[in-house]
Amino acid sequence: MPEWLGISIAFVYGTVVGSFLNVCIWRLPRDESIIKPGSHCPSCNQLLRAWDLIPLFSFLIQRCRCRYCGAKITWRYFGVELLTGIYFVLVLHSFGWTIDSLAYALFGASLIATFFIDLEHWIIPDQLSLFGIGLGVARDVIGLVSGSRSFLRIPIPVVHRELPLPQSIAGILACGGVFLAIAIISYYIFKKEGVGGGDIKLAAAIGANLAIAQAMLSFFLAVALGSIIGIGLIAARKKTRKDYVPFGPMMVAGAVLTIFYGKEIVNLWRNYVIFVGS
């Protein structure tokens, strides 16, 4: 298949998935079904027809407004479709036509929805995190059956034995456990919530889809990004030191950076350590 054709297919599929993500981003925080009713204008409730739902083009042709009532449509709809299309192209470019590509594409789609929901509503719907967890486990099962993946051998102290675990299960326990421990410690020491339940489940989903070392790198990047953005908001007087900033979008950004550039980031860090130590 010519490269341009593969890129075009990935982009088109990505924008279609992005269109569905817009439904999730609107409905999940409102506890509405993502299946019924069909796509409709939230202002006039008019059911949308096929030509109203062409990713990217319908939004531009209709000039950011509902065709039926003229209500303005936020640019987020266009942005999510474009972003998802670009993400699918990057996945194809990085991993080719493999089961990993399919897994990362679907997981990335759930991360994109998580990003925008948490950014606006400060919640991470359980459906998205549970989807990510299920996806990671399913990928492991397929890999174990086909022989492309193997069990992790977890040493058990005292009895001197090893516990074989699928990588996804080990990642869920390790990453979800780290965030759960942070939540418990922060509550008892600082008397306030350090991370929310949504963050814990999202961490478990990231652990289910990334190797444990990669997941931990993504959390480090999330903290670094959060610190930079937090300091910037304080400096711009948009936030104070006591204000909260949603951490889910930082976790999403850290996970996506790790998926595509994890090895490069690790190599940069190693070179920095060697340079400093020389």
Mean pLDDT score, 38-66: 90
Domain edges within the chain: 1-97, 125-278
Residue pLDDT, tens place only, 121-142? 999 999 999 999 999 999 999 9
The reply to whether the predicted model has a pTM over 0.85 is yes
Please, is 140 exposed, middle or buried when counting C-beta atoms within 10 Å of its C-beta (0-12, 13-18, 19+)? Answer: buried
**CA geometry: angle 20, 176, 131, nearest 5 deg:** 20
Q: Measuring CA to CA, how many Å separate 125 from each of 111, 198, 201, 225?
A: 11, 7, 10, 22
Residue pLDDT, tens place only, 84-132? 999 999 999 999 999 999 999 999 999 999 999 999 999 999 999 999 9
Cβ-based neighbours of 21, under 8 Å, separated by 6 or more: 80, 84, 109, 112, 113
CA 159, chain centre distance (Å): 38
